[in-house]
Structure 1
């Protein structure tokens, strides 16, 4: 028997009052949040503390919290060989009046500024040392072992999701079966990495995913800057040349080109060209 979980109302924390939430986090973690540094996003709020740490607070509906729980940042603390802010502790509580949970994770401060928004419109001109550290962390992540399953955009990635996402946008007789699943960050974009010192943060959705998901996701976030998108493909070419990497590229393209596509999105044409090329390769290969 499967128990249904009621859906939470859609909330945008960029416009909702969060004063009570910040007060509760301060009391629970015994810390003072610097209200002048509060960074508000749709699903999360962050702020610097008086002990030179960072607290990230997220609201998530119970229907978006699966059997593996909701402790990605905490679980990522045991990963080895990855440049990420050290995890300090957390507080979790259930909303009193609606089916949601709140979670606040405290980590050390980032070693640099986030590179930009999720989708970049200009080249950040990252040095070779940055790309070396980036590759080392992604390679180390893929070599780890976990029973977690990635939840990109809070949706558990499954073979069925991959097949449905790809074939809902791209026609053709080709197999979408994933051959290799490896640990992935699952939200790899330019807003979740720092420079000039490389660090990868926001680990709440990490877990096993098809090989190449992270590389394809970053490539998709770079398409408005062709040279940057080419650099991502060059640095992660082993992922992109693999069959799973090609499927993940189509998976990312399906999000860009799907029914919610914006007609003026500069990524549309390069995503369409790449998708056509990959579909042709998969059909003949």
Structure 2
């Protein structure tokens, strides 16, 4: 059975919201509901937040759909506490719905996933981001990261990079826990907090830093700041591979010719390719 393509920004969702209210014993503020392509979010009457995700069973993998709940075991990371959750299989389609209730965020998201202007973040913000990423990388998990809902394997790394950059040895050596969707829409300011943990798991070193770099390219000074702050990760061999992994998604066969990040991504990627070939 082919899974129906659904965009929750336009799909009727009243039945889903009502089911979540009954199951979690909350009342959702349905005006407004934050709607994304495959997730919904709303504040509750007990001053918490509920995020609801729709994911095909073929994109759940062996680790299940409990990313946000399992992230509660992580320590030393600025993130909202997980409070409760429910999951159910859709009666009509090969789809799982997952709803997680968490603490409210300490601020608004920095921007959309790709930033278009300098958010002017404080030194305290950068320090908190670094501390959280360092703490995350030092922990242990059996989960495997699922960026863009795809299980992150050595084969996926090689296939993605080689679509844009041929002749690169893509063998990953270091794997560490990563958020795997580390972009400006999933972090708050002025107080740093990272949320939406559904895809976290083991990933090549530098994935989160490379993702944030790729999401910053429209603002050159910000992209440079990201690379400076996460230099140790991004200058490692695996970090360079993750830079190409992210760049390949921008520059590869499905590139958007109007993407304002193209030039900056290509310039950095060409330099990284030279460094890898020389090593």
Shorter-chain TM-score range? over 0.9
For residues 231-257 of structure 1, the C-alpha deviation after alignment (integer angstroms, 9 at most, x for no partner) is 000000001110000000000000000
User: What secondary structure does 2:253 align onto?
Assistant: coil
Distance 1:158 1:179 in 2: 12
> Are 2:253 and 1:259 equivalent residues in the alignment?
yes
> Are 2:50 and 1:49 equivalent residues in the alignment?
no
User: What secondary structure does 1:222 align onto?
Assistant: coil
Runs of 4+ with >2 A deviation: none
> Are 2:9 and 1:11 equivalent residues in the alignment?
no
Distance 1:166 1:78 in 2: 32
The normalised TM-score by structure 1 is 0.97
> Are 2:70 and 1:75 equivalent residues in the alignment?
yes
RMSD, aligned CA: 0.7
For residues 193-234 of structure 1, the C-alpha deviation after alignment (integer angstroms, 9 at most, x for no partner) is 000010000000000000000000000000000000000000
User: What secondary structure does 2:186 align onto?
Assistant: coil
Partner residue of 2:111 out of 108, 113, 116: 116
Where structure 1 has 5 or more consecutive residues not aligned to the other structure, the ranges are 1-5
Distance 1:221 1:256 in 2: 10
For residues 11-60 of structure 1, the C-alpha deviation after alignment (integer angstroms, 9 at most, x for no partner) is 00000000000000000001000111310000000000000000000001
For residues 167-200 of structure 1, the C-alpha deviation after alignment (integer angstroms, 9 at most, x for no partner) is 111123x311001000000000000000001000
Distance 1:129 1:118 in 2: 21
Partner residue of 1:63 out of 49, 52, 58: 58
> Are 2:187 and 1:189 equivalent residues in the alignment?
no
Q: Deviation of residue 7 (structure 1)? A: 4.2
Contact preservation (8 Å) 1:92, 1:102: yes
For residues 51-93 of structure 1, the C-alpha deviation after alignment (integer angstroms, 9 at most, x for no partner) is 0000000001111111111100000001000000000000111
Partner residue of 2:266 out of 256, 260, 272: 272
Distance 2:129 2:268 in 1: 24
The equivalent of 2:226 in structure 1 is 232
The equivalent of 2:195 in structure 1 is 201
Distance 2:151 2:159 in 1: 13
The equivalent of 1:146 in structure 2 is 141
> Are 2:123 and 1:133 equivalent residues in the alignment?
no
The equivalent of 1:105 in structure 2 is 100
User: What secondary structure does 2:185 align onto?
Assistant: coil
User: What secondary structure does 1:129 align onto?
Assistant: helix
Where structure 2 has 5 or more consecutive residues not aligned to the other structure, the ranges are none
- 1:16-55 matched pairs, under 5 angstroms: 16-55=11-50
Contact preservation (8 Å) 1:150, 1:156: yes
Contact preservation (8 Å) 1:7, 1:61: no
Distance 1:101 1:8 in 2: 12
User: What secondary structure does 1:37 align onto?
Assistant: coil
For residues 137-167 of structure 1, the C-alpha deviation after alignment (integer angstroms, 9 at most, x for no partner) is 0000000000000000000011011111111
Contact preservation (8 Å) 2:163, 2:253: no
User: What secondary structure does 1:103 align onto?
Assistant: strand
The normalised TM-score by structure 2 is 0.99
